[in-house]
Amino acid sequence: KVATIRYAKEHTSIPVPDVLVYDPDWDRKVGGEWMLMKYPTFGPSFSVYASNPSEAFMNNKMDPKLSDDQWEALCTSVADIWSQLLRLRFKSVGSIYEQQDGSESRYFIGPMTYIPSTGCVASPEASTSGPFSSTREWLVAVAKGKLKSTRRIPSDFDYEQARKWRPLSVRQILRVMMMDIQSCIICHG
């Protein structure tokens, strides 16, 4: 997610959140990766579409009382976002990753990541998750079920430890960062 957000920020004019803090939780102290983001400031044109832009964005609830001109402007804005995203080109199909070693090419395409959902606790096997050299190769992997998220729970997973660390870690981060909670979101990835 973080690499994708940063890539979009650098290569488009799409308003994306600023990633203030990111922790992949390699040491498994929190129980999952997390990030702290600050929402972009939307201009007055977006405010017309929703009484609370952040709330509307989070819950897909736009103001139903829009005039025809406002709906047209909204649709044009959404089309512009899609247009910018579709212009981005890569040599393979996968997820965007960011080099950590200061290489000349900052981003690369690696194995597909997954979006956590109920019961899915791990990404698909890396060996079957790409990157894929073509859209066809990717679609064949999807059709064969090679990109399904894993539902198994690691044998050494400590539920009690995970429950203890989560609230403590969030409070600690907020205390250290001393940030205005209204302009930030914590997103578990």
Q: For residue 115, is pLDDT > 80?
A: no
What's the pLDDT score for residue 181?
A: 43
Structure tokens at 117: 């959902």
- Residue 178 confidence (pLDDT): 43
The whole-number pLDDT of residue 160 equals 64
Tell me the mean pLDDT in the region 92-105: 78
Statement: residue 85 has pLDDT above 60:
yes
Please give the residue range of the domain that contains residue 114.
2-188
Q: How many CB atoms lie within 10 A of CB 85?
A: 12
> Which DSSP symbol is given to 40?
P
In the chain, which ranges are E strands? Answer: 18-23, 34-38, 95-98, 107-110, 184-188
β 107-110/18-23 pair status: unpaired
Residue 107 β-bridge partners: 98
**Per mean pLDDT, which of 61-65, 102-106, 142-146 is the most reliable?**
142-146
Q: Which two tokens stand for residue 154?
A: 């690691």
pLDDT band, residue 144 (cuts 50/70/90): confident
Q: H helices of 60-93, where? A: 68-87
Whole-number percent of the chain with pLDDT over 90: 3
Mean pLDDT estimate for the chain: 71
Can you give the pTM of this predicted structure?
A: 0.59
Compute the distance between CA of residue 34 and CA of residue 29 in angstroms, rounded to an integer.
Answer: 12
Mean pLDDT of 160-169: 55
Identify whether the C-beta of residue 124 lies closer than 8 Å to the C-beta of residue 149: yes
Give me the pLDDT at residue 12, please.
Answer: 92
Three-class SS of residue 23? strand
- Count of domains forming the chain: 1
91 pLDDT more than 80? yes
> Over 70: is that where the pLDDT of 59 sits?
no
**pLDDT at residue number 153:** 56
Highest mean pLDDT among 49-58, 81-90, 106-115: 81-90
What distance in Å separates the CA atoms of residue 36 and residue 136, rounded to the nearest whole number? 36
- Residues contacting 144, CB < 8 A, separation 6+: none
Of 130-134, 145-149, 150-154, minimum mean pLDDT range: 150-154
